[in-house]
């Protein structure tokens, strides 16, 4: 294919699956990695020997570095995935989150513009169902008004609109993917799905006694990350840039995720008590799940469900993996480790 892509956030869950997909398609893939005191490349380690996979040190808060990298590579496609992506942590580091997730997108757009690459470079911008926050309708579509509920959601709102504004103002090919939650065995350990599967494994291994969670009644539209990175690629193969919801149109609670994950590990969980006193117990009466208010968020997103009809019609994209299969895959991978 002889095309060149730059992936910001290449060490993350999505960056790793997208790298595999693009390399399979024959792309030369450049990835932006942050310097850290210990190596954080375990998701992409298996790609290290591929000579079409090239890493560059960089950071979304450093404009000159981004300009230099983009100037050197002159990418056909930029997949802008880098972000401080944890919603609860964005309440602890709101300014950093705004800088990375909001202004970071502006830095990429400006770099492409200043380098005269507007005609050449197409940009995928990683937006999120967190934009809907306090949802105005169910299911959410591309036309549903936004009402973000966290510094992360607000930073991504800026990211969404600045990409759209540069599309309208300068004719740039910037597509916003409004992706709903997507998970995998490579999901970060402090997102709820991975925290649950990892904790169940630790409980079975005797390393942990109780899984502590926050709001187990929150509902999410959970898909499988490898399915979702295909949608990113498809968005950049269209004749025109646009905004797309990528989701399954199914919603499930954290509670359901807990029940199914434990079941996959051979333990039937039942619930007793209410509110902060609610616990999940195994058939022998052992408490395996409890509620800890430290995981409650100052403002929560209660219910997400996305309608991906536009993506189906225009991109020919559909989710391939249902909720139960997703939980099974994640739990199986955890138990096999
Ligand atoms: P992730 O696993 O948390 O990966 C985030 C990536 O961004 C990592 O490579 C991280 O590097 C990098 N990064 C963070 N801050 C950076 C900075 N200042 N400079 C350079 N790189 C930085 O996230 P993900 O699940 O793959 O999600 C990818 C993107 O989609 C994110 O923008 C996220 O907000 C968005 N999104 C995700 C979901 C989802 O459900 N997964 C849904 C909607 C939207 P380190 O490895 O060094 O930390
Ligand atoms: N992380 C976490 N840890 N969440 C918990 C816990 C816990 O112990 N207990 C309950 N939850 C609830 C959260 O309050 C939230 O309602 C839900 O589980 C999902 O939380 P996360 O897995 O942290 O994901 P998120 O929905 O907040 O954000 C993810 O999805 C967004 C798309 O909707 C992230 O990947 C974001 O980057 C992404 O934009």
> Block means of pLDDT (10 residues each) for the chain, length 337 residues?
94 98 98 95 97 98 98 98 98 98 98 98 98 98 98 99 98 99 98 98 98 98 98 98 98 98 98 98 98 98 98 98 98 96
DSSP letters, 17-50, are HHHHHHHHTT-EEEEEE---SS---TTTGGGTT-
Q: Residue 2 has what pLDDT?
A: 87
Query: Which residue of 7, 8, 9 sits with most ligand 1 atoms within 8 Å of its CB, as the best mutation to test the pocket?
Result: 9
How confident is the model over 53-111, as pLDDT tens digits?
Answer: 999 999 999 999 999 999 999 999 999 999 999 999 999 999 999 999 999 999 999 99
What's 147-185 look like in SS3? CCCCHHHHHHHHHHHHHHHHHHHHCCEEEEEEECCEECC
Reading the block at residue 291, the tokens are: 């509620």
Q: Residue 337 has what pLDDT?
A: 87
Torsion of CA 37, 213, 135, 146, to 10 degrees: -10
- Could you tell me which residues are beta bridge partners of residue 124? 79, 175
Residues identified as active-site:
128, 130, 152
CA of 283 to the centre of ligand 1 (A): 39
Q: Which residues line ligand 2 (CB under 6 A)?
A: 85, 87-88, 128-130, 180-181, 190-192, 195, 213-216, 218, 220, 254, 295, 297, 300-301, 304
Q: Residue 1 has what pLDDT?
A: 65
CA of 82 to the centre of ligand 1 (A): 4
What is the distance between the alpha carbons of residues 225 and 221, in angstroms, rounded to a whole number? 12
Nearest ligand for residue 191 CA: 2
Reading the block at residue 74, the tokens are: 């002159």
Task: Please state the separation of Cα 11 from the chain's center in Å.
Answer: 12
Q: Which residues line ligand 1 (CB under 6 A)?
A: 8-15, 32, 34, 36, 40, 59-61, 81-85, 100, 126, 128, 179, 181-182, 188
Q: Which atom of ligand 2 is nearest to the CA of 296?
A: 14
What is the distance between the alpha carbons of residues 157 and 151, in angstroms, rounded to a whole number? 10
């Amino acid at each position: 294919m002889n095309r060149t892509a730059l992936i910001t956030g290449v060490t993350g869950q999505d960056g790793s699956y997208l790298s595999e997909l693009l390399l399979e398609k024959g792309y030369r893939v450049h990835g932006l990695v942050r310097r850290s005191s210990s190596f954080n490349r375990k998701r992409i380690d298996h790609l290290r020997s591929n000579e079409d996979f090239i890493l560059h040190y960089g950071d979304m808060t450093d404009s000159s570095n981004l300009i230099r990298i983009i100037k050197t590579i002159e990418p056909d496609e930029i997949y802008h995935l880098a972000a401080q992506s944890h919603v609860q942590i964005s309440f602890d580091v709101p300014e950093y989150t705004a800088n990375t997730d909001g202004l970071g997108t502006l830095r990429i757009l400006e770099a492409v513009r200043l380098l005269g690459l507007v005609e050449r470079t197409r940009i995928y911008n990683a937006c999120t169902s967190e934009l809907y926050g306090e949802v105005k309708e169910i299911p959410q579509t591309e036309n549903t008004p936004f009402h973000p509920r966290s510094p992360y959601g607000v930073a991504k709102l800026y990211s969404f609109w600045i990409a759209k504004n540069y599309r309208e103002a300068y004719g740039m090919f910037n597509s916003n993917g409004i992706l709903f939650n997507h998970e995998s065995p490579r999901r970060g350990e402090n997102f709820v799905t991975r925290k649950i599967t990892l904790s169940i494994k630790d409980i079975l291994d005797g390393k942990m006694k109780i899984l502590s969670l926050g709001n187990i009644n929150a509902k999410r539209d959970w898909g499988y990350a490898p399915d979702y990175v295909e949608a990113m690629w498809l968005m950049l193969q269209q004749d025109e840039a646009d905004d797309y919801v990528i989701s399954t149109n199914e919603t499930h609670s954290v509670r359901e995720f807990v029940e199914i994950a434990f079941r996959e590990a051979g333990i039937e969980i039942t619930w007793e008590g209410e509110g902060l006193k609610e616990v999940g117990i195994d058939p022998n009466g052992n408490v395996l799940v409890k509620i800890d208010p430290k995981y409650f968020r100052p403002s929560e997103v209660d219910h997400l469900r996305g309608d991906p009809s536009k993506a189906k019609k225009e991109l020919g994209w559909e989710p391939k993996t249902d909720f139960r299969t997703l939980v099974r895959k994640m739990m199986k991978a955890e138990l096999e480790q």
